Each structure stands twice: as structure tokens, then as C-alpha cells.
Amino acid sequence: MSVEWKNLDTLDSFKALAKTAPVDLAAVMSGENGAARVKNYSVPMAEGLVYNYAAKAVDDDTLKALAALAKEAQLSEKFEELYNGAVINTGEKRLVLHQLCRGQLGQDVMADGVNKRSFYVEQQRRIAAFANKVHNGEIVNENGEKFTSVVQIGIGGSDLGPRALYLALENWAKTNGKLKMTAKFISNVDPDDAAAVLSSTDVAHSIFILVSKSGTTLETLTNESFVKDALTKLGLNPAKHMIAVTSETSPLAKNEGYLDAFYMDNYIGGRYSSSSAVGGAVLSLAFGPEVFAEFLDGAHAEDVAATETDPLKNPDMLDALIGVYERNVLGYEATAVLPYSQALSRFPAHLQQVDMESNGKSVNRFGEPLDYVTGPIIFGEPGTNGQHSFYQLLHQGTNIVPLQFVGFRKSQIGTDVVIEGSTSQQKLCANVAAQIVAFACGKKDENLNKNFRGGRPSSIIIGDQLTPASLGALLAHFENKIMFQGFLWNVNSFDQEGVQLGKVLAKKVLAHSTDGALKVYSDLLDI
């Protein structure tokens, strides 16, 4: 084992980083120096995206210290171990292979007696074949009619990622003649969720995808039952309308209750499963397998960018390093994700899961308590909507919240209007540019109520257009950033023991085997 797993606060380079002089962001972003920063503090990503960090509170000294930290923390070496098949998920003793779903980065990875890349490719091939048969009418409903809708039943990683990606590409697909089937999602155990989705769905012409790795997720099995009831009430056979995405050892695999089953495995965490069959089935059915393949290609290209060993040329690693600097040196507690793209309306909710579930930990990968803070709170809404909402606090609140903007030069649909001499797309882009500078530089006013102190850091990822490929690169960027941050914090980013206690207690409530406070709450809620 060439790498050493050490706590962040034991690294000399971190101690040196903590001693670097703070940067006066408002000052360095002003005038010609500011213009030069915006030109220089920029790293190309895959698929034409660019990570621009000019409005972060760093300078060449900070960057040098961050580069030293990346080296001492062996970030590149750890990533290499990960993609070559090391047991990075120490808690559950598992490999971490979501990047392998979208391409071979290193050596062959063997597990469970098979070459895992071949396994993932085989699932993609099977999904593609199935989707093509649905689209060309070889697989039809019981009346011989084509399926027109697809409904994903899943929760957490089986819901947030696929849903965010579907919404991100729905209008692109419509505009480019790629929308094969509309997709919907049922997730919450709240019975009104399933009931509402089903009442607005053409059930007879729908394929339902049941997504559960273990085949035992209670919410998902409950919602499956809702769907089966709805099908049965229409005189339809659920087995002719449902497919499963699950592990090969689950009760849903090779089960005659489903048209077909596609497989994932224990090496893909739920929150990282959009690149696997979990995202693949619904996105291939909705947009066609070639669109999903483009998405994977974009993600893989960003993974390749993340293998760059110079942190200043590696957008994912640099983003991670700056984030740790903001969290552990500057002491900021949250990060807002602000895409200036309505198509990315649910992308912040997905990143909220990926980030907070991965790095919201208080112990290191060896189960030892940590003396420093780890993952931040992640939240966000699309701009310009957020500007008319919570930006007040971001601009003038008592705490500083680092910001992650995303913007594209072109819209997806292309329809636009000119009002007051500019298109909506130009207004959208003008707003994100203006916000970056407003947050960084502020503006003095003698009336302190109208004064902007500035010094509020942000970065922006800029792309030409949100397409399957650039969306893949965007998602991989954040997944890789979070992975590198986990390496820096020395946590296991790939388990989630923090969600277990609630599950155990909920079962006790349902079994009426509680006492004390829990019993009284149960009574108050009439359970």
C-alpha cells in the first residue's frame, strides 16, 4: 500500500495553509487586477466546461499551499487506488466503482469473480437492447400498444439523481427530437406521492422501474404495491409492466414478476448510482440509449480530467481543495449551489445528497473521532429565482456562505424574446456575472442598510449548453470533488451509518414496541 491515510490536522501542509495570509477578495477582484484574475484563475474541464475560481478568496500563495496539501494528502494516489479497485469504503469493506460504470480509468478491476467493467458494460448493453425494443414496438403492453411513459419507483439515490438528470435533459430532448418517453418518479412513503403520480399517469401505457439494490427498501416496496394495485384495477398484469433494477442476489432478480431485471452491485453507492443501471434504465427509456451513452462519455471525460496530478490543472481537485480551505481555515459552514438554468432545478437537491451523505461524518475512516469540521450544509435553487429569495442573506447576512454558480451561454430550447435590447438568455447570463462581482466586491454606501461589504466568495462553472455530455461532466465534477474532500478529511465518503438509527426506531414504532418519548409521539400521531 503506497498511500497513507492521515487526518487533515496532522498534515504539515495543512498547518502551513492555515498560516497563509487571508486574501482581501474585494480588493483583488477590483480594477485591472480583477480582470486578470478572471482570465487566469480558470481551469478547463471536460466537454468544454470551465471551472473559474477568480472570485474565491485565494491568491498564488494560497494556491501553492493548496497544491502542497494535495501532494501531502496524496489525493492523486488515493484516486488511483480507488479506480484500480482498492477497498476504499472501509466501513462496509467495499470497492468504490461508480467511475468504472462510465469508463476504464486504470487497470482491470476484478470482483465477485468477474471483470467489473465488463459487468457494467453488459448491463448498459442489455438496457439499451431493452429500451430499443420498447421504442420500436417489439416490447408492448398487453393490448399490443406502445409504451409511452416510464415511472421510476425509488428513493434517495434511486430518485434524486435520476430525477435531476431527467429534468436537466427533458427540454433538450424535446427540442432535439430525442424524447422517446416521458418519465415520472415516485419516491416518498407518503401515500399521496404515489397516488398523485398515478392519477396523472397513463398507467396502461407505462413501464414502471422498481429500483432497490437490496430489494428490501420499505418505501420502494410499499410504492410498488401502490403501482400493482393501480395496474390490477385496470385489469392489467403487473408483470408485463414492471422491470427491476437491483443486485443479482436480491429477491427482485430473476423474478417472474418483472419483464426484465438490470443489475447493479455493492460497489456503487446509491448516491453515486446515476451512472449505473439506476440512472441508465430510466434515462435510456426516456431519451434513448445513445443519449445515456453521451452522458456517460461526458462523465468519463471529467473523470480523466480528475486524474491530472497537478491540482492547479485539475478542476475537481482544485474545487475540493478550495472548499476545504473555506471550511477548515475560513470556517464557513455551508455552500450554496446556484445553477443559472431552470433545467437544473433539482440538481442542487441531488448534490445535497451526494455531498452531505458522503462527508457529513464525525469520525475518520478508521472510526476515530475527528477534531475538525467536515462536510458543509449544501443547499440551492436556480438563478435568477434565488436572487428574489434568499440572496438577501447571502449578500448582507451575518455569516458568509461560499457560492457555486453554474451558467451556460445558450439555452436548451432556443426560443427567446428581446426586451429592452437583450434576450432572456442574455439577461440570465448578465445576472450571474453581476452576482459574482456584487458578492466579491460589494459596494460602499454611507447608509449601512444599503452597504455591501463584499468579500463573499464564489466560483462558476461555465459551459456552452447543457447537453447530455456536459451534464455528465458536471455531475462527475461534483462527485469527484466530494471524493477528494473525503480524502482530505480522511473520512469514508461511501457509507451512511447515520441513517440507520431512524430506520430501527421507525420499525419499533410500527411494531408498537416503544415506550417513553417515542410512545407519546406515536400516540400524538395516531400511529
The strand ranges marked E within 206-328 are 206-211, 242-247, 260-264
What three-state secondary structure class fits 128?
Answer: helix
Q: Read out DSSP for 476-524?
A: HHHHHHHHHHHHHHT--TT--GGGHHHHHHHHHHHTT---HHHHHHHHH
**Active-site residue flag, 388:** yes
Please identify, using beta-carbon distances, which residue of 99 and 435 lies nearer to a copy of itself: 435
The percent helix, strand, coil of the chain (3-state, each to 5) is 50, 15, 35
Please identify, using beta-carbon distances, which residue of 260 and 416 lies nearer to a copy of itself: 416
Q: Could you give the string, one character per residue 166-185, with x where binding to a copy of itself holds by CB under 8 A and - elsewhere?
A: ----xx--x-----------
Please identify, using beta-carbon distances, which residue of 120 and 340 lies nearer to a copy of itself: 340
Using the rule CB under 8 A, give the single segment among 96-104, 109-117, 296-304, 412-420 that binds a copy of itself.
Answer: 412-420
Give me the least distance between CB of 160 and a copy of itself, in Å please.
6
User: Which of 158, 141, 450, 117 lies closest to 303, judged by CA?
Assistant: 117
Residue 305: how many CA atoms within 13 Å on its side-chain side?
Answer: 32
Give me the least distance between CB of 216 and a copy of itself, in Å please.
11
Q: Could you give the string, one character per residue 119-158, with x where binding to a copy of itself holds by CB under 8 A and - elsewhere?
A: ------------------------------------xxx-
Of the listed 256, 388, 420, 446, which one is catalytic? 388
Give me the least distance between CB of 231 and a copy of itself, in Å please.
13
The verdict on 25 binding a copy of itself (CB under 8 A) reads no
Which residue in the set 215, 288, 375, 468 belongs to the binding site for a copy of itself (CB under 8 A)?
Answer: 375
∠ CA 13-18-21, nearest 5°, is 115
Of the listed 294, 357, 381, 479, which one is catalytic? 357
Which residue in the set 136, 192, 235, 256 belongs to the binding site for a copy of itself (CB under 8 A)?
Answer: 192
Q: List binders of a copy of itself among 318-347 (CB under 8 A).
A: 333-334, 340-343
Cα dihedral 494, 496, 497, 498 in deg (nearest 10): 140
Q: List binders of a copy of itself among 446-505 (CB under 8 A).
A: 447-453, 460, 462, 492, 495-505
Give Cα separations from 377 to 163, 403, 429 (angstroms). 21, 12, 26
Dig out the grid coordinates for 97 from the structure: 466503482
Please identify, using beta-carbon distances, which residue of 79 and 340 lies nearer to a copy of itself: 340
The verdict on 357 binding a copy of itself (CB under 8 A) reads yes
Please identify, using beta-carbon distances, which residue of 101 and 351 lies nearer to a copy of itself: 351
Grid cell 417513553 is found at 516
Dig out the grid coordinates for 173 from the structure: 430532448
Please identify, using beta-carbon distances, which residue of 100 and 322 lies nearer to a copy of itself: 322
**Calpha distance 316→45 (Å, rounded):** 8
Which residue in the set 441, 469, 475, 482 belongs to the binding site for a copy of itself (CB under 8 A)?
Answer: 441
Using the rule CB under 8 A, give the single segment among 286-294, 317-325, 350-358, 476-484 that binds a copy of itself.
Answer: 350-358
Using the rule CB under 8 A, give the single segment among 76-84, 114-122, 295-303, 396-404 that binds a copy of itself.
Answer: 396-404
According to DSSP, the β-strands at 50-52 and 42-44 are: antiparallel
Give me the least distance between CB of 126 and a copy of itself, in Å please.
26
Could you give the angle at which helices 315-324 and 468-489 cross, rounded to 10 degrees?
40
Q: Could you give the string, one character per residue 84-113, with x where binding to a copy of itself holds by CB under 8 A and - elsewhere?
A: -------x----------------------
Using the rule CB under 8 A, give the single segment among 12-20, 118-126, 238-246, 407-415 that binds a copy of itself.
Answer: 407-415
Please identify, using beta-carbon distances, which residue of 107 and 392 lies nearer to a copy of itself: 392
**Calpha distance 466→169 (Å, rounded):** 8
**Active-site residue flag, 357:** yes
The verdict on 27 binding a copy of itself (CB under 8 A) reads no
Output 312-315 pairs: Cβ under 8 A, ≥24 positions apart.
312/43, 312/63, 312/67, 313/43, 314/43, 315/43, 315/44, 315/45, 315/51, 315/477
Q: List binders of a copy of itself among 239-268 (CB under 8 A).
A: none
**Calpha distance 402→509 (Å, rounded):** 40
DSSP conformational letter for 157 = G
Give me the least distance between CB of 192 and a copy of itself, in Å please.
5
Which residue in the set 11, 37, 88, 296 belongs to the binding site for a copy of itself (CB under 8 A)?
Answer: 37
Dig out the grid coordinates for 372 from the structure: 475538525
Please identify, using beta-carbon distances, which residue of 76 and 158 lies nearer to a copy of itself: 158
Give me the least distance between CB of 355 and a copy of itself, in Å please.
8
Rounded to the nearest angstrom, the gap between the alpha carbon of residue 10 and the centroid of all alpha carbons in its chain is 30
Catalytic residues, by residue number, are 357, 388, 503
